[in-house]
Structure 1
Amino acid sequence: MFCKAEIVLSLLSLLLLSPLTLSEKCNPQDKKVLLQIKKDFNNPYLLSSWDPSTGCCGWYSIECDEKTNRVITLDISDNASPDFTNFSGHIPPSVGDLPYLETLTFHKLPYLTGPIQPAIAKLKNLKYLFIEYTNVSGPIPSFLAELKNLELLHLSTNNLSGPIPSSLSQLPKLESLHLDRNKLTGPIPESFGSFKKPGPNIILSHNQLSGPIPASLGQLDPDNIDLSRNKLEGDASVLFGSKKKTQTLDISRNLLSFDFSKVDFPKQSLIWLDINHNKIYGELPVTLTEVENLQQFNVSYNKLCGEIPQGGTGRLQDRFDEYAYLHNKCLCGAPLPKCNYASDI
């Protein structure tokens, strides 16, 4: 019994000490790079836990691989939302010297400025790149296409400008592309149709994109597409289809113009459809009544005409109020006023 008790105590001691032991382990080269990053950012308070006398795997915003002790995550985020006014400057080139990095995040850092650092192209193991809610500016660099392991590319809510690089379609593992809330201009690249199917979620809203929606996008079938609040023109019907698995489709507040009566919809997957503030014409397709799980729906401020379809599992008339239909050419029927065909002639 005494031997068993000793064994149990020894195991408990190991369990209690192991987190500390792991945090003290740190690859010397990675630690040197992290301290350089801290210096490049002028030793901000946010990185005060980066103490040279302690192991870097226990530092704030750092995660190491449990087996190799190499740094795999660098996540510098102001999640608590205090005003870290001393965290300022550009993304330093030293971030490219963490060869095993899989996740790189700069989030909610309003004083982070300058371009996306070219040294990021050296991070060949990078899977997740998040630069969001900063004042990073300049173009979206084409060198991001060199990061062949990239799965998530989120560059939302910055000051990025210029065109979207067509080379991004060369990312074979990309599952999510968020470029919304920037100052991007030019067209959506035709090359985006060559993303590996079903294609990444494409979120490009709140920019100044113009031109037509590439027909090639019809070859993709991502869960989510948001092209809202741009200056896109022409036909968006390629984004629709009864065999697609689309869950959310938002093309609102553009200059799009096409016959809505000729499009079809995923009957089970679609939960969000917003086409408001365009120049879309025609009637509401009867097939809309067969969309079972629609939760958000808005076709207002277009040139639609005819009676709102009744019945079906979609229950358009019961589920959505008049604000979903207002300001169309001659759309009528509940929840709008009753159709008066005599006066429409």
Structure 2
Amino acid sequence: MLCHPQDRKALLQIKKDLNNPYLLISWNPKEQADCCDWNNLDCDEKTHRVINVRVLTDDVSAQIPPSIAQLPYLRSLEFHKLPNLTGPIQPAIAKLTNLKYLFLSWNNLSGPVPDFLGQLKNLELIDLSFNNLYGSIPPSLSQLPNLLSLDISRNKLTGPIPESFGSFKSNPDLRFSHNQLTGTIPKSLAKLKSERIDFSRNKLGGDASVLFGSKKPTQILDLSRNLLSFDLSKVQFATTLIWLDLNHNKIYGSIPEQLTAVDFLQSFNVSYNMLCGKIPASERLKRFDEYSYLHNKCLCGSPLPSCK
């Protein structure tokens, strides 16, 4: 038998803590089968230690089991689409120092985003989206040297975006949409070179121009439905932009001619702002209809009525 006896014991305890869901029926203590052959997990081919555990789309009524800490070689942990998985993000996860991927999305978890996640230096991906998490975003997450993606969207988070997030070395994608975040966007974020930033549907105010820059690798920038107020005519757009959504803010100024040089722009919306002036004439911008520009102070030119 290749499966490590400590891992086998831990897996059976996890199954028990989850109230023996049908999804884990193959985790059977009565059979002598190698636990590396059980469903919903993977073992390392050389060490035969359990490195991945997945509990997906099931009627599990429980909390994240503290026994998860008994799998010290775990690299990926996924609890996904479990509407009856409740309670906080288990503190025992802090002991999983080899963890690279933490997927805890589409559940019914509550409590704060835990500060201890900043201690798991191997983390590359954190997905806590679609839960009921509340409280503020812990500044300690910026201490993760290898983080590539942080998704905390669709929760009930409040407070500001931490100033420390400008010190990320790995330039992670940041997805914070559909929360209740407030305050201004930290100026330190000007140093970030993330490909994807989604701060939409919050209560963020003030100047967001620090997120723009012609030399940044930005592909998706969604700041829609906030309280942001800055002069759009003074920003420089990344030539890599694919998606730019600024609708429902208080953004003023005019649409810069430089936007016509963004070759790959596929989605664009500046409606419901305070913009003025003529929409730059270009084949690239002609692909967007009037709904991308409606309800501004005095924008004019195709596809809106012509300027007088």
TM-score (norm 2): 0.98
Q: Which residue of 2 aligns with 1:177?
A: 150
Q: Take 2:287 and 2:81, find their aligned partners in 1: how far apart are those partners?
A: 37
Secondary structure (helix, strand or coil) at the match of 1:134 reads coil
Q: Take 1:97 and 1:251, find their aligned partners in 2: how far apart are those partners?
A: 41
* Higher helix content, 1 or 2: 1
Secondary structure (helix, strand or coil) at the match of 2:182 reads strand
Q: Which residue of 1 aligns with 2:250?
A: 279
Q: Which residue of 2 aligns with 1:250?
A: 222
Q: Take 1:44 and 1:289, find their aligned partners in 2: how far apart are those partners?
A: 55
Q: Per-residue deviation at 1:315?
A: 2.0
Q: Which residue of 2 aligns with 1:7?
A: none
Give the partner amino acid of 1:31. Answer: R
Q: Take 1:123 and 1:147, find their aligned partners in 2: how far apart are those partners?
A: 7
Q: Show the 5 A alignment for 1:225-304.
A: 225-267=197-239, 269-304=240-275
Query: Residues 307-329 of structure 1, C-alpha deviation per residue, up to 9 Å, x if partnerless?
Result: 00013xx621x210000000000
Give the partner amino acid of 1:60. Answer: N
Gaps of 5+ in 2: none
Query: Residues 205-244 of structure 1, C-alpha deviation per residue, up to 9 Å, x if partnerless?
Result: 0000000000001101011000000000000000001111
Q: Take 1:61 and 1:247, find their aligned partners in 2: how far apart are those partners?
A: 34
Query: Residues 173-224 of structure 1, C-alpha deviation per residue, up to 9 Å, x if partnerless?
Result: 1011000000000000000001104x10000000000000000011010110
> Aligned pair 1:94/2:67, yes or no?
yes
Q: Which residue of 1 aligns with 2:51?
A: 72
> Aligned pair 1:26/2:26, yes or no?
no
Q: Per-residue deviation at 1:138?
A: 0.2
Q: Which residue of 2 aligns with 1:343?
A: none
Q: Show the 5 A alignment for 1:1-345.
A: 25-52=2-29, 53=31, 54-78=33-57, 84-85=58-59, 87-197=60-170, 199-267=171-239, 269-311=240-282, 315-316=284-285, 318-340=286-308
Q: Take 1:315 and 1:64, find their aligned partners in 2: how far apart are those partners?
A: 50
Give the partner amino acid of 1:89. Answer: A
Q: Per-residue deviation at 1:25?
A: 2.6
Query: Residues 78-122 of structure 1, C-alpha deviation per residue, up to 9 Å, x if partnerless?
Result: 1xxxxx43x111101100110100000000000000000001000
Q: Take 1:42 and 1:334, find their aligned partners in 2: how far apart are those partners?
A: 61
Please tell me the root mean square deviation across aligned C-alpha atoms, in Å. 0.9
Query: Residues 4-33 of structure 1, C-alpha deviation per residue, up to 9 Å, x if partnerless?
Result: xxxxxxxxxxxxxxxxxxxx6311110000
Q: Take 2:291 and 2:129, find their aligned partners in 1: how far apart are those partners?
A: 29
Query: Residues 264-293 of structure 1, C-alpha deviation per residue, up to 9 Å, x if partnerless?
Result: 1112x1100000000000000110111110
Q: Take 2:284 and 2:14, find their aligned partners in 1: how far apart are those partners?
A: 57
Larger radius of gyration: 1
Query: Residues 138-196 of structure 1, C-alpha deviation per residue, up to 9 Å, x if partnerless?
Result: 00010111100000011110010000000000111101100000000000000000110
Q: Take 2:41 and 2:112, find their aligned partners in 1: how far apart are those partners?
A: 28
Q: Take 1:73 and 1:202, find their aligned partners in 2: how far apart are those partners?
A: 24
Give the partner amino acid of 1:164. Answer: I
Q: Take 1:247 and 1:334, find their aligned partners in 2: how far apart are those partners?
A: 25
Task: Give the number of aligned pairs.
Answer: 306
Q: Take 1:281 and 1:154, find their aligned partners in 2: how far apart are those partners?
A: 34
Q: Take 1:43 and 1:150, find their aligned partners in 2: how far apart are those partners?
A: 29
Secondary structure (helix, strand or coil) at the match of 1:140 reads coil
Give the partner amino acid of 2:304. Answer: L
Secondary structure (helix, strand or coil) at the match of 2:291 reads helix
Q: Take 1:146 and 1:88, find their aligned partners in 2: how far apart are those partners?
A: 29
